[in-house]
Amino acid sequence: MRPEVLLIDDERDFVDLLAQRLEARDHPALAAYDAAGGIGLMEQGALPVVVLDVNLPDRGGLEVLEEIRRRWPLTQVVMLTGQIDLGTAVAGMKLGALDYLVKPTDVEALVRAIVRAKGRFREQSESLRVADTARMASLGRLAGGVAHELLNPVNTIMQKAGWAAELMEEPEFQACPGLPEVLAELKGIEAQSRRCKEVVGTLMRMGGRIDPRPSEFEMSQVLEAVAAQVEARARERGVRVAVFCEPGLPRVTLPRAEIEQVLRLLADNALEAMALRTAGNPARKPDGAPGHAGESSAGSVGPGGLLSLGAFLGEGGVLEARVEDTGPGVPEEIAPHIFEPFFSTKDVGQGAGLGLSACKGIMRSLGGDVLLERAGGPGAVFRVLAPLPGAAPGA
């Protein structure tokens, strides 16, 4: 279980014993013995709760409280004080501390304060995520509207370039000394126009303007499209992208744009997870189980890891796509919550916590599902179950 509490107190024996008692009550904690050490731990990764002594050897507790509230406004602070420092504790409450306790501290009272602080942290985080989601939705609608307006002129440019290329095939233009250069430029215009259409399509998907109509397609086409979309980002991180599909898979009849959206989001999450892999921890090779992406790619892992996209025929009339990475994996303690709306381990503003929830909702609405195959790491495997024509709903 990841620590969610930071103890900052210069009484080492007291802090170490307190950390042990909190650990025994399922509240694992980190310990720092001065202000500098506490701020350093927060800079490595902000924790939801800080238990702070008002008297520290290098800085005043109130000064530390002000810095924590300024730099990590969601973190909840519980002050520890001696009887003679009650005035300081009250001042701390005015500066934003959630509560204060008088030493010697009763462990059960501290646990209650920590539980309350964690609850406040979650409430405030979820409120900010809701606001952030609304802001992103507005930006998405704007992006979709702009993309829609750009689509017509881009199509016109492509048509005009194609018409000009056909015109160059007429006999009267064949003797033109600059004909090869003109044709090359026209091909360049068409190629760049197609690129613009791809960007426009991405913006329209961001704005929620995706085609909801079912169409028949091969899963391999979607996986190749997703691989192409994330290739540049993966290359920047030193991640190799591999695609493998079991031969002879049946075609799927579903809204292709929605399936692509689900797989793209899972691939993006995988790249972010591999970026968190600690230095010196080598990338784990995929399992290589028959029928999925690891089978063809386990032998070649990039310096930043391996993202495997695969598909094979599953049981019960479903076609299964898999997104597998060599990152740190999903900790067992949070695995049951990753599909909950607004659940996120990222800082507010770095993610709304809706991606996996949306993926699961999309696939369930289509009669399929999204599942986490393995928790605890190393690496993560997400299974996307897509129903095949004629399969019973929810099979």
Q: Which architecture characterizes domain 129-206 according to CATH?
A: Orthogonal Bundle (1.10)
Topology of domain 5-105 in CATH is Rossmann fold (3.40.50)
β 215-217/252-254 pair status: antiparallel
Contact 52, 61 (CB under 8 A): yes
CB-based contacts of 335-343 (< 8 A; 24+ apart in sequence):
335/372, 335/375, 335/376, 338/372, 339/370, 342/126, 342/129, 342/130, 342/133
The topology (CATH level 3) of 215-387 is: Heat Shock Protein 90 (3.30.565)
**pLDDT digit string, tens, across residues 227-241:** 998 898 898 889 999
What's the mean per-residue pLDDT of the chain?
80
Q: Are 265 and 355 in contact (CB under 8 A)?
A: yes
By the 8 A CB rule, do 99 and 81 touch?
no
**Which regions of the chain carry the CATH code 1.10.287?**
129-206
> Do the beta carbons of residue 381 and residue 364 sit within 8 Å?
no
Structure confidence at residue 255 (pLDDT): 85
Three-state DSSP class for residue 302: strand
pLDDT of residue 297: 41
pTM for this prediction:
0.51
**pLDDT, tens digit (0-9, with 9 covering 90-100), for 173-197:** 887 888 888 888 988 898 888 778 7
CA-atom Rg of the chain in angstroms: 27
The pLDDT assigned to 240 comes to: 92
374 forms beta bridges with none
Q: What is the pLDDT of residue 76?
A: 93
Domain with CATH 3.30.565.10 in the chain: 215-387
Give the DSSP H/E element, type plus range, for residue 71: helix 61-71
Give the chain's residues under pLDDT 50.
Answer: 278-299, 348-353, 391-395
Summarised one tens digit per residue, pLDDT across range 84-104 is 666 777 788 888 888 888 888
Spatial contact of 322 and 294, defined as CB atoms under 8 Å apart: no
Cβ atoms 240, 306 nearer than 8 A: yes
Q: Say how far apart CA 331 and CA 206 lie, in whole Å.
A: 29
256 CB-contact burial (10 Å; exposed 0-12 / middle 13-18 / buried 19+)? buried
Is the Cβ–Cβ distance between 42 and 60 less than 8 Å?
A: no
Whole-number Cα distances in Å, 127 to 101, 182, 218: 28, 57, 41
Q: In the chain, which segments carry CATH 3.40.50.2300?
A: 5-105
